[in-house]
Structure formats: structure tokens, C-alpha cells
Amino acid sequence: MPMADLSSILWRERGLLDLLLFRLEVERLVLDSGRSWWAAIAAREIEVVLAEVRHLELLRAVSVDTLAEEENLQPNPSLREIAECSPEPWRAIWLDHREAFTALTSQISEVSRGNRALPHPDRPTRARPVLQDGAH
């Protein structure tokens, strides 16, 4: 059951990363439009999604370690390492998740960098964290 649990968490995380990318795109559109009164709301929505992503990252870490223990892997294995020791169809599922996370984190980083370069009247003084691709 640990494989199914981990896959479920990864699907939820992928959905949140898609939502984060959407929210970042909305923030860019708001900033480009000059409608600064929406900028704070767009930034708050991004922070809400980031908090949800951080929560799922913790769940994923626990699930990965549970799976690693069951499969006699080192703690905190990458999706590639999990895929290498998994039978089909799990091998393909893990590699699909890995590819999706790689693409999403690249897109998120690109849009986030672009947004930080735009004037933002209500930008918090602390910098928003850029997601690291922890799925590999």
C-alpha cells in the first residue's frame, strides 16, 4: 500500500504545482496590467498554495521513507531510485511523476523569476522562495 499512498500524494502535489503555476501567471497578468490593487491578493493566493505545497512535501517525505523501508532502500530515495527497484506499472508511474515534476518546477521557476523582475507595489519585503525540485 505504500506505493499507492505515495502515488496519491504525488498526484495531489502535481495538482497544487499546476495551481501554483496558474496563480503565478495570474500575478504576472495583474502586474502587467498596472492594476496594483489586485497585486496583494494575487501574492496572498500564491502564499496559500505554497503553504499547501510545503504540507504535502512533508507528507511525501514520510511516505517516501515508509516505502524505502519496505523496499529496503536508503532513506529519502529519489523517484528515479524508487523507479529502478519497482515493477511495472509502478516504474512507469514514478518516472511519469518525475518528468512532470521536472517540467512543472522549471516552468514555476521561470515565471517566478519573471514576476520578481516586475514592479510590485505590495511585494513583501522578504523574497518568495523558489521551489526546488525535490522529487528527483
User: Can you give the residue range of the structural domain that contains 20?
Assistant: 2-117
Q: What is the number of structural domains in the chain? A: 1
127, part of any domain: no
The tens digit of pLDDT for each residue in 8-51 reads 999 999 999 999 999 999 999 999 998 888 999 999 999 999 99
Widest CA span in the chain: 55
Query: How many other C-beta atoms lie within 10 A of the C-beta of residue 73?
Result: 17
The tens digit of pLDDT for each residue in 119-136 reads 876 555 445 555 555 554
122, part of any domain: no
| Selection from 20, 125, 25, 126 nearest residue 33 by Cα | 25
Q: What is the DSSP letter of 38?
A: G
63, part of any domain: yes
Q: Give this prediction's pTM.
A: 0.85
57, part of any domain: yes
66, part of any domain: yes
131, part of any domain: no
32, part of any domain: yes
Q: Look up residue 83 and give its three cell numbers.
A: 523507479
136, part of any domain: no
